[in-house]
Structure 1
């Protein structure tokens, strides 16, 4: 066999071997890419994303789209070829597998966590929207969960409303922690509660619950041995003056909070917040209306622009990353609170876009 032919054959075989190795050898990376967007003013799977009953609503036009990111599953292992392609692809991001699934978290555990965050973001979006509109929302501190084999097991129950600890009124979950940890392990704590059943009955009857009980729980030592605990998680429960349903399946995480809140505000106020413009955005939101940063901002910008968005509401803490690579035709609008966002939407509606707060890459 001529030397040139032998060299070409050997090179081809080496290339094939390397290609096979690249396809077969898994690497510890995962991939993020632009996901679908959903108009909070429109429908998803022939069902309104936002449904409000018991309160007058108004017609809306335009778009207030929440954005999403697709990620590879926890059990999926990318190969070397896929990883290199992902690194080269402009719209995708390859990250270490542990970034998306830390501590060996399974896909099921990650999905459950995302679902819980999504549910909480909906509640906070409702509260923030109604507060923005100055519509009263009744809030109360509740037992969110009781840990198994803890001192509180069979003494307190999920859904119990916590009125006071050791006679001191509580206004937020942090008060419960602070009052319990004043004790030494082995000491008694007295909770004044409204039992969960009474709380539910009162909410259905649209009245303040009246029946309270005092429950004594003996504290135990925390795992680190530094403080007293009773083994509950305290949270906040809200009673809304009318019904707000958010109908969106197969979406997780907390990042849709801002856009849900704006959709609710738009539906409850005359006129259009957007003036018919196509606005997309992202951001967590808390009960006070503060907007927080999210992950995957670069992919969300791409997904929004591909869907037709002209403006993108961007959490201020994501601004630098977002501004480093803005899709052509998309204007970034910096927001810190729901009040910021509604003010910017009014400017977009009026055409006064020169004064919109912008993002910079520095």
Structure 2
């Protein structure tokens, strides 16, 4: 009898433990991801191959359950973030992923522009329309447009920037109707929406979307970047260096395995990112010899300073190099001796 009660209690405990792993807390947990070689991802038509490699670094992130929450409290290279620090208000996980993938697309466009300009190659951009980043609940677009839709025409007018779209709609008044043509999942759609005042600004009317320009680069030679499901803008610097290396003669890696991180602005500025210490751990585990970190113009709490703290803690042999712009990285690479 006791034996049967013991096994019943044991079975109940196992079921409760298994069920609790699917109970998510209002937190996200992040930890070191991977360092991924870029040459198989980036392909410049007729581009040079490298002896070394440029690598992007990632952070793994997921919803926190009881166990990952407790583990993150103990592990210095796991971090917890409240939901509202990760997702926008009312944003689902799927919508968050769409936003992150769009940020990656913007990052790639900036990287391509900077790399081609530095290499002296021609590049221009074709404006495709307005990219819908989010939809405001209770406004006309709610229930009609979705995050990721591409608005290509308004009242049969085509625009050259999202600003022109905003100016056109903003010049109308509440109650006016506009006809939209948009693309979703490569299918063309239409909708007629009635403009409405915004609650927080009664003098402003619109359909209730957050938006960005949607454009694609046109250049020679052609380049393709297959970033798959990697999201966010933090690989901008490393994409720039890989594209530039394939565009130009020689191999600027000099045979080294080089990781790094940082956003890329269209003027070549390298911006800060999140999870720098976790990326140092990921790069070290992948055998990187050099790591480029955003310097933020020497700010005391810069990504570079945080990277150095982690580098000393894990006793890595990687050389941590501070960069404020792409020229800093190129100048450093120029001064490298060939790998032995």
1:282 is the counterpart of 2:261: yes
Matched, 1:66 2:43: no
- Alpha carbons 2:116, 2:247 under 8 Å: kept: no
Q: For the structure 1 residues 68 and 306, does the alpha-carbon distance in structure 2 shift closer, same or farther, using more than 3 Å as the test? A: same
What is aligned with 2:204?
Answer: 227
Equivalent pair of 1:184/1:219 in contact (CA under 8 Å): no
Select 1:84's aligned residue among 38, 56, 70.
Answer: 70
Aligned to 1:241: 220
Aligned residues: 287
In the alignment, structure 2 segments of 5+ residues that lack a partner are: 1-12, 145-149, 183-191, 297-302
Change (3 A) 1:226 1:131: farther
CA distance in 2, matches of 1:222, 1:336: 42
Conserved 8 A contact 1:314-1:333:
yes
The equivalent residue for 1:348 is 336
Q: How far apart are the structure 1 equivalents of 2:126 and 2:36?
A: 32
Q: Bigger shift: 304-313 or 328-337?
A: 328-337
Distance 1:340 1:283 in 2: 13
SS of corresponding position for 2:71: helix
- How much does 1:282 deviate? 0.8
Give the distance between the partners of 2:310 and 2:244, measured in 1 at CA.
31
Whether the aligned pair in 2 keeps the contact of 1:283 and 1:314 (CA below 8 Å) is: yes
Q: How far 1:345 moved relative to its partner?
A: 1.8
**Partners of 1:97 and 1:339 in 2: how far apart?**
37
**Is the CA contact 2:175–2:194 (under 8 Å) kept in the aligned structure 1?**
yes
Tell me the residue number matched to 2:304.
Answer: 319
SS of the residue corresponding to residue 232 of structure 2 reads coil
Alignment of 1:140-219 (within 5 A): 140-145=126-131, 149=140, 158-159=151-152, 173-174=162-163, 177=166, 181=170, 183=171, 185=173
Partner of 1:35: 33
How far did residue 26 of structure 1 move?
6.4
Note if contact 1:275-1:350 (Cα within 8 Å) is conserved in structure 2: yes
Could you say which residue in structure 2 is the equivalent of 1:330?
318
In 2, the alpha carbon distance for the partners of 1:27 and 1:301 equals 27
- 8 Å CA contact 1:142, 1:234 repeated in 2: no
What is the TM-score when the length of structure 2 is the normalising length?
0.70
Distance 1:88 1:172, change over 3 A: same
Deviation at 1:278, TM superposition (A): 1.5
| TM-score w.r.t. length of structure 1 | 0.66
- Tell me the equivalent position of 1:138: 124
CA contact (8 A) 1:186 1:218 kept: no
Describe the superposition over 1:46-102 as per-residue Cα deviations: whole angstroms up to 9, x where unpaired. Answer: xx211222xx42221112110001112x3x5234xx433322224322333443345
Structure with the largest fraction of strand:
2
Identify the residue that residue 57 of structure 1 maps to in structure 2: 47
Consecutive unaligned residues in structure 1, runs of 5 or more: 1-15, 42-47, 189-194, 197-216, 352-362
CA contact 2:174–2:197 (8 Å) conserved in 1: no
Could you give the per-residue CA deviations for residues 206-259 of structure 1, whole angstroms, max 9, x where no partner exists? xxxxxxxxxxx9994541423354778451523223321112323221111211
